[in-house]
Amino acid sequence: MPYLLLTGASGYIGSHTAYCLLKNTNYHILIVDDLSTGFKENIAYLQECFEERVSFVQSNINDISKMRTLLLHYKFEAVIHFAASLIVGESVLKPLEYYTNNTLNTTNLIALCIECGITKFIFSSTAAVYGEPHTSLIPIDENAPLLPINPYGSSKMMSERILYDTSLAFKNFNYVALRYFNVAGASMDNTPQILSNHKGLGQRSKNATHLIKVACECACGKRESMSIFGTDYPTKDGTCIRDYIHIDDLASAHLEALTFLQHTQTSNIFNVGYCKGYSVKEVIDVVKEISGMDFKVIESARREGDPIELSAKNEKILSLTQWKPKYNDLRVIVKSAYEWECSLK
């Protein structure tokens, strides 16, 4: 039975993608994760749902000897690479850590794929590679200038370039880089029974900074208040606008990226978003509406490096793959996130 390697898949996006792949294909999956930011609960739930089709090795991908052994043994059909450091503010304070964890480790993993004959690579990239695009470029397409403004965005941009150059030098090596926009929500397969047993999949991150999760924590009584960073932007209500994508739709983009690589044997880069943005205030209002709860919102100063607006042109992924988003509705995203947050211990 063919195997896929997923690095860093005990985390939020990786665990949902693993679930999507296991549900919709016959692959077995090996997850390699050091659990530094991930969660054993996600691995346990995947193994409960899919049993022997899910294997787990606790290791940092910087252990090149161990990774080489795994790649040679399993002869993976593809590598889907999530393992990374991903907090923008932290990347400014710890740039060397980010370039090591993101760019260097990715480079080493690509080199091992070449060495071990693995020809398909799916890379977890980010809209942060675009930096602060001018509003005239919004919604932004994949050909827009790459001008990251922090080490996190730069580390991902460099990794994309390394993939590109490698694919030129090794003609049978192909990759897809998926530039994520603002992912949110929880698995749509989380039934009330699953949630009542404190199981399922969703965003478990401690000390989260993602808007929808923070607002849901407030609505569940886990936080007393939250802040809006900047209310004087040139938008309809003065707050930043972002393109929020449901986690299940983002997960399915990885399945379609794999199919694309198998059918075309070419490389590509795709934005993954809905081509529609919502303001911070709009999101908070929807969380309050869905939850029926009011909570304190503090208006604070702008954060450096927050673009006014960021949304994705998604015509490319829609036209070149079979990706069809199912949950392009802010209320659906928020409802799934809120129900998950309320169930989370």
CATH number at residue 192: 3.90.25.10
| pLDDT score recorded for residue 206 | 84
Q: Which residues of the chain have pLDDT under 70?
A: none
| pLDDT score recorded for residue 89 | 86
CATH number at residue 85: 3.40.50.720
The neighbouring-strand residues paired with 175 are 121
Please tell me the total count of domains within the chain: 2
One domain, residues 158 and 298: no
Longest dimension (CA), the chain: 56
Sequence-separated (6 or more) residues with CB below 8 Å from residue 200? 45, 186, 187, 189, 190, 191, 194, 340, 343
One domain, residues 110 and 221: no
Q: Which of 270, 285, 269 is nearest to 330 (CA)?
A: 285
One domain, residues 158 and 135: yes
| pLDDT score recorded for residue 336 | 99
Cα 188 from chain centroid (whole Å): 17
Catalytic annotation present for 152: yes
One domain, residues 15 and 104: yes
One domain, residues 227 and 254: no
**Tokens standing for 270?**
């795709």
One domain, residues 83 and 220: no
Average pLDDT of the chain?
97
One domain, residues 213 and 326: yes
Q: Which listed residue (19, 45, 98, 152) is catalytic?
A: 152
One domain, residues 176 and 189: no
| Full domain range(s) for residue 316 | 183-240+274-341
One domain, residues 39 and 92: yes
| pLDDT score recorded for residue 306 | 86
One domain, residues 17 and 132: yes
Q: pLDDT tens-digit profile of 228-243?
A: 999 999 999 999 999 9
| pLDDT score recorded for residue 345 | 81
One domain, residues 98 and 230: no
One domain, residues 188 and 79: no
| pLDDT score recorded for residue 305 | 80
